Every structure is written in C-alpha cells, then in structure tokens.
Amino acid sequence: MRIAVIADIHGNAPALREVLNDLSRYSIDRIVNLGDAFNGPIDPSGVARLLRDQQIVHVRGNGERMVLSDNPAERSRSADFARGRLAAAEVEWIRTWPKVYQEAEYFACHGSPDSDVEYLLEEVIDEGARLRTAEDIGGRLTSIGWSLLLCAHTHIPRFVRVGVHRSILNPGSVGLPAYSDSAPTPHKMEVGSPHARYAIAESVSSGWKVSHIAIPYDYEMAATRAEYEGFPDWAKSIRTGYAPQVDLA
C-alpha cells in the first residue's frame, strides 16, 4: 500500500493545488487528509473545491471543530474567516468527517488518538518544543496496535519509530510552515522555508518506507492575500517558514 498524507492546509488553496499536482505523478492507493484544512485567511472555499474533486479520506482537526461551531465565541479569527466563506453545503460536508479513521494498515488522527490539540510527538518546555522520548510517545499509545499512526497539528515533518513494530508519521503542513502559540507556554513551530509539504508512506516487506516532500509554489501570492485580509502575521509565516512572536489565531 502507498499512502499520500496531507495535513494543515489552513485555507491555502495555492499550496494545496501544487501538492495535488505533484502527487498525481505517483501511483497512490489512498490520500489521507489529517485536518485543519480551512481555518486560514487565503481561500478556504477553494480548498474545499480542490478536496472534493479528489478521492480523499478526511479526519477533522481542531480547525474543523472551530469552523463547524455555531457559536462564534468558540471560533478563532481564522476559523471565523473560513466559516464566513464556506458555502452551507461545504460546511455540511465537513460535518461528515470523522474524528479519527482507521484501516488494517494504519490509524489516522489530527493531534493524537485522544485529542485534536495534543502534541503527540513534541513536548513544550520553557525553551520551546522538543521531540518526546520514544518511551513517552509509546506510553500515550497503549491502545493503538497499528504499525503506522498518522498525525499532524504541529506542522513539523517527522517519522518516529516507537518500539520495533510501530512508527508515527507527521507529514508537515501543506499551507502554513510556521506558527507561534502561547499554550501551555509560549513557543514556536518552524520549518524554515515556505514550501508546501506532504509525505508518502509505502508498505514494504521490511516495514514502512517514507518520503517527505517539499514543494515550491507561489507563496508570495498566498502571503499577499493574507495581508489583504488583515492577517500580516500569517503572511510572514507563509513567506519565510519562521513564526512571528504573536499567536496565529
């Protein structure tokens, strides 16, 4: 089985378009989207159209949870932006997405199997975010028996082995290569380039073969749109892959 894994599009339709164009070069059995597809100040409706044109398995992220909330107080500014631009039919389609998805070969979630906002692979300390130990990660997955777990949320591409027979893949972010957050303490998540990222996981006789792929696209257009819509901090992250000091709401 060969799986293409995308995540954290954050309304960035230009980045998603290039990723879908690139992965069309490969023979893929399944495309899996790990959520946070729409909450971002570029083109959330364009993202919906691109995703609906493909055969894709979707799971909800915390972004979808906020976008779907009918209480504006529960939506971040970027989720409110997306909700105001998605058609009613698109919102109802997103409501059909499950929180997690599983097949015999893999398990897919946004943050962790238990939470759409938990960092599964990283821990936040006073100095920032760092990779958890394999023992710490494994202790959070006692009920998960799949050989491959797909997660996202941190926007940091990783492939981590936990024990002999289990691995965890984070494909990185299609549309937002950096962000800053204040919870649980102030920290940044940065990849250092503006590229759109995804991953391909292939089941081979000895385990999982993984490729992390970084795609150039017209990030200046995306950043300019974010600025136009009143999100200059998003524009900086999109242009550079480095995060501003303030939260990206």
246 located within any domain: no
Domain CATH for 195: 3.60.21.10
User: 14 near 222, Cβ under 8 Å?
Assistant: yes
Residues in contact with 247: Cβ distance below 8 Å, sequence separation at least 6, in sequence order: 180, 181, 182
Dist. CA 249–CA 218, nearest whole Å: 23
249 located within any domain: no
Dist. CA 180–CA 6, nearest whole Å: 21
pLDDT digits (tens, 9 = 90+) for 170-216: 999 999 999 999 888 889 999 999 999 999 999 999 899 999 999 99
83 located within any domain: yes
Domain with 138, as residue range(s), is 2-240
Residue 22 in tokens? 């690139």
Q: Please count the structural domains in the chain.
A: 1
pTM of the entire predicted model: 0.96
Orientation angle between helical segments 44-52 and 13-23, nearest 10 degrees: 20
User: 234 near 226, Cβ under 8 Å?
Assistant: yes
245 located within any domain: no
Give me the mean pLDDT over the 130-158 stretch: 92
40 located within any domain: yes
248 located within any domain: no
32 located within any domain: yes
pLDDT digits (tens, 9 = 90+) for 205-229: 989 999 999 999 999 999 999 999 9
Bin 47: left if φ > 0, else alpha if -120 < ψ < 50, else beta.
alpha
Long-range contacts of 213-222 (CB under 8 A, 24+ apart): 213/22, 213/23, 214/172, 215/15, 215/18, 215/19, 215/22, 216/18, 217/14, 217/15, 217/17, 217/18, 218/14, 219/14, 219/15, 219/194, 221/14, 222/12, 222/14, 222/15, 222/42, 222/175
The pLDDT mean for the chain works out to: 95
247 located within any domain: no
Dist. CA 82–CA 79, nearest whole Å: 5
pLDDT band (50, 70, 90) for residue 246: low
